[in-house]
Chains A and B, each alone.
Chain A
Amino acid sequence: MTSAGITITGLTVGYGGPAVLDQVSLQVRPGGTTAVLGPSGSGKTTLLRALAGFVRPAHGQIEIGAKVLTDEKGMVAPERRGIGYVRQDGALFPHLDVTGNILFGLPRAERRRAAQVGPLLELVGLSPDLARRRPDQLSGGQQQRVALARALAREPAVVLLDEPFSSLDTALRAATREATLTALRERGATTVLVTHDQAEALSFADQVAVMFDGRFAQIGTPAEVYDAPATPEVGAFLGDTMLLPGLADGRVVDCVLGKLDLTEPATGDVLAMIRPEQLVLGAPSGLTARVVSVAYHGPDAMVRLDLTDTTTRLVARVPGHDAPENGDLVGVVVPGAVRAYPKPAGSG
């Protein structure tokens, strides 16, 4: 299989109403894994369906490798795109067993060779014993993996995953995700994953594209979108944040937590964005705060605090074994640099 990159340019899709996708552009490198992350209704599934050829865009162009799939002149039919598409529910054919499903997309002569099913099942981390099961005799995670094996059987250059893990329970989800990722890497397929699960997007992909309201708010590596979000909204969507008003003078911002270093230069009235894990709690000295509540999660704990002599409520994420008690007085330190955004007009 030769990997091929994906180039989407100025893609606009509307279902006869307001645009669902508005001038979207995206590049995925050959063999790369991109997660499209966004809230429900943001248009991420439409993007995938346009890639797969189920939606006719109003404008824009989609290329895979050197092949133009969709442009102003027309579009290539879904079956001629060589793109694997795995849906949330797996969409296994109920009238066929696992073997029938996996061999479905192969040419007639190759469909007789049932022996090739075993390796494909192993590729997605399933036992070859399942080959003769019917879809309703499989668990949700097994169905997902068979659907992936079915898509991979045709050796597609590109695989699209539409929230494939969201219907699985937590333990199964991690295992299925791991198996999927391994299988895709082994085949070198270029992958686009659509999800609304931040942790999934950050751990699965080498590129994360955050979509709000039919547009990409930011495209970057997982670390970039998490640590250096383009806007406070992107930052908040990827994880808990605190936005503290302050005055910046180039390299430093002055806010209730004192003078903090900036990752990017800024000046004037700004909002400093701090993630809960950036706060370090210690013995009460310097800045202190009173613990209001502790939500214990096992590995870590979320601690809500009121900063002494202010009305500022803070949230800190601390190791679970090191969590303070309700009512404790603790010291608060921000050791690293923070990011600041210009204060929106009209907000005090």
Chain B
Amino acid sequence: MPAFSDPSGAVLPYDGPGAPSVRARRSTPTPWLVVVAALLVAVLMLAPVLVVFGQATAAGAAEASRLLLRPRTAELLRNTLVLVVLTVPITVVLGCAAAWLVERTTLAAAGVWRTLLLTPLAIPAFVSSYAWTSVLPSVQGLGGAVFVTALAYYPFVFLPAAALLRALDQGHLDAARSLGASGLGAVLRVVAPQLRPAVAGGALLVALHLLAEFGVLQMMRFPTFTTAILQQFAVGFSNSAGSLLAATLVVLCLGLLAVEVLLRGRARISRLGPGTRQQPVAHRLGVWTVPAIGALAILVGLSVVVPAGIVLRWLLRAISAGAVDAVPLLSATGSTIGLAVLAGLAATVAALPGAWLLHRYPSRLAAGLERMTYVASALPGVVIGLALVTLAVQWARPVYQTAALAVAAYTVLFLPRAMVAWRSGLAAAPTELVEASRSLGVSGPGTFARVVLPLVLPSALTGFVLVFLATATELTATLLLAPTGTETLATAFWSASDELDYVASAPYAAAMIALSAPLTVLLRRQILDQR
């Protein structure tokens, strides 16, 4: 009840006063401790961005214009934009078409296809890039970069599109038809508007990954802002030059976020009424069955089978040549798992206050905090890494080149994964159940232990695993921040493949694929849960 507990008026109610639908939400005082914790997390998330801009402005206008107006910068900008403009539409077409075939047609073995089409997410893009270049050196430059990244990132569109098409109410299509729309018209006027926000979100994710991509583009010798920043860092750390490039990258990211907001449109899609959803009617493929299966097989072949097969071939060759050195492999695996567990725990804990606030006390403040965490995470690993290096060197020398700093970077980068997981988990433990428990004589802490925790735990675990997996294959921030003398699977793989030592890289590549395999299962469940 804000009238009592909210003298500052900082927490604004979502709906009009006294609206019965929100009565449950605002009947208890706002927990200021949680608000403070969520604010703290948001500030930590935004600190890197502020540092980057601070450094960039510190360079001075003359230096800035000298660095930014070079032909080199124009080339980086052009390369980055061309890559985004070419790759994103390809992923949208591939992702939507595959989602439609799997979810809305009579295609056999849809479950198998669903898994296979998500599997590219378990193969880090720089690993499949290594696989392709190791057998086809001609896969290079812009063409090679588009080829590899499109195949690696189309699942970002496929996943939300499939989830939406699966959850689509056939009743809407039927209603459109009975109101005189043709079959195609119904799809365009009923399905497409519902699909648009999901696809826009997926496309944004692809574009952000392209801005952040380092490994693939370095291998393809296709320089973008991210590769230039890391090169700058490698040849000698020039704060202002690196920060200026990073600041430009941040501006590009913010631009993409704005474009996505525009594309998504203002429409809100709500499910109305207590009516039950109609099971979708599968579209008959008929004579198109064989071409459809062929197209999906080619997609899966190029994005999964070929890269994984090549890695396997190099691995077998390494084993038969006795070139697999167990000690560094095990130590890299150990430090990767260690860092990933720490990052998973840190992100899961850090995401809870914000998620809890949004769930129990929805307000503009809480929504704003959430938005802030997403913006910070949209930035490339290299920007976050660079900012944390700067922060540590200037103000916290002792944590420089320790695991703590790397874990902080992973938390900033991957917090939204934990946040999304918490939110779906908390949605499974609505206020009504908490109240039912209280009215049955169980105290607040008891209710948390006996009702909230059992319902939320599976989702929290999912969030942990998602952060764990992302950390296990993270390359750019790790290159900047890994503790001295520590190799992770990604950095060990990278230093070997950088020397074109395909045999030595193979065990690390295989280990990363094996470690990421559970991701496919988790994400698949995410689609299946959308009923």
Contact = CB atoms under 8 A, between A and B. Distances in A.
A82 interface: yes
Given A93-B451, A95-B455, A105-B442, A16 B3 contact: yes
Nearest to A90: B436
A94 B18 contact: no
Contact of A46 (B23, B442, B450, B451): B23
Contacts of B444: 77
Interface residues of B, number: 35
Given A16-B26, A94-B455, A95-B455, A52 B17 contact: no
Interface residues of A, number: 39
B16 interface: yes
Contacts of B2: 15-16
B23 A15 contact: yes
B20 interface: yes
Given A20-B18, A77-B443, A94-B428, A15 B435 contact: no
A52 B443 contact: no
Interface core residue of B13, B18, B428, B433 (most chain A CB under 10 Å): B18
A94 B274 CA distance: 19
Contacts of A81: 439
Given A16-B3, A16-B17, A56-B4, A77 B438 contact: yes
Contacts of A56: 1, 4, 27
Nearest to B16: A17
Given A105-B441, A151-B440, A54 B435 contact: yes
A223 interface: no
A16 B1 contact: yes
B439 A79 contact: yes
A81 B440 CA distance: 9
Contacts of B20: 40-41, 45-46
B442 A104 contact: yes
Interface in B1-36: 1-4, 6, 13, 16-20, 22-24, 26-28
A16 B19 CA distance: 11
Interface core residue of B1, B2, B13, B441 (most chain A CB under 10 Å): B441
B245 to A, nearest CB: 49
Nearest to B447: A79
Contacts of A94: 428, 433, 455
A14 interface: yes
A232 interface: no
A15 B432 contact: no
Contacts of A80: 441
A304 to B, nearest CB: 31
A154 B440 contact: yes
Nearest to A41: B20
Interface in B370-426: none
B170 interface: no
Nearest to B432: A91
B510 to A, nearest CB: 39
Interface string B90-134: 000000000000000000000000000000000000000000000
Interface in A74-107: 77-85, 87, 89, 91, 93-95, 104-105
Interface in B222-254: none
Contacts, number: 105
A159 to B, nearest CB: 10
A45 B436 contact: no
B183 interface: no
A80 B442 CA distance: 8
B454 interface: yes
B73 interface: no
A80 B438 CA distance: 9
A173 to B, nearest CB: 15
Contact of A45 (B16, B23, B455): B23
A52 B435 contact: yes
A54 B451 contact: no
A154 B436 CA distance: 13
Contacts of A188: none
Interface in A305-324: none
B437 interface: yes
Majority DSSP secondary structure for residues of A touching B: loop
A206 B274 CA distance: 32
B438 A78 contact: yes
Nearest to A88: B432
Given A17-B18, A91-B432, A93-B433, A52 B23 contact: no
Interface core residue of B2, B428, B438 (most chain A CB under 10 Å): B438
A89 B4 CA distance: 30
Contacts of A53: 438-439
A85 B436 contact: yes
A18 interface: yes
Interface in A32-58: 40-41, 45-46, 49, 52-56, 58
Contacts of A20: 18, 23
Contacts of B443: 77, 79
B1 A15 contact: yes
A41 B17 CA distance: 12
Contact of A55 (B16, B17, B22, B27): B27
A215 interface: no
Interface core residue of A41, A54, A94, A150 (most chain B CB under 10 Å): A54
B441 A79 contact: yes
Contacts of A87: 432, 435-436
Interface core residue of B4, B428, B433 (most chain A CB under 10 Å): B433
A91 B16 contact: no
Contacts of A84: 439-440
Contacts of B440: 79, 84, 104-105, 150-151, 154
Interface string B15-59: 011111011101110000000000000000000000000000000
Interface core residue of A52, A83, A94 (most chain B CB under 10 Å): A94
A89 B428 CA distance: 15
A55 B442 contact: no
Contacts of B455: 94-95
B435 A78 contact: yes
A41 B433 CA distance: 22
A265 B450 CA distance: 61
Interface in B437-473: 437-444, 450-451, 454-455
27 contacts: A15-B3, A15-B23, A15-B26, A16-B3, A16-B26, A17-B18, A20-B18, A49-B23, A52-B435, A53-B438, A77-B444, A78-B438, A79-B438, A79-B440, A79-B442, A80-B441, A84-B439, A91-B432, A91-B433, A91-B435, A93-B436, A93-B451, A94-B428, A104-B437, A105-B440, A105-B442, A154-B441
Nearest 6 pairs between A and B by C-beta?
A17-B17, A105-B440, A85-B439, A78-B438, A16-B3, A91-B436
Given A58-B3, A83-B439, 15 more contacts: A16-B2, A16-B3, A18-B18, A45-B23, A52-B439, A54-B27, A79-B438, A79-B442, A85-B435, A85-B436, A87-B435, A94-B455, A104-B440, A154-B440, A154-B441
Interface of A: 14-18, 20, 40-41, 45-46, 49, 52-56, 58, 77-85, 87, 89, 91, 93-95, 104-105, 147, 150-151, 154, 167
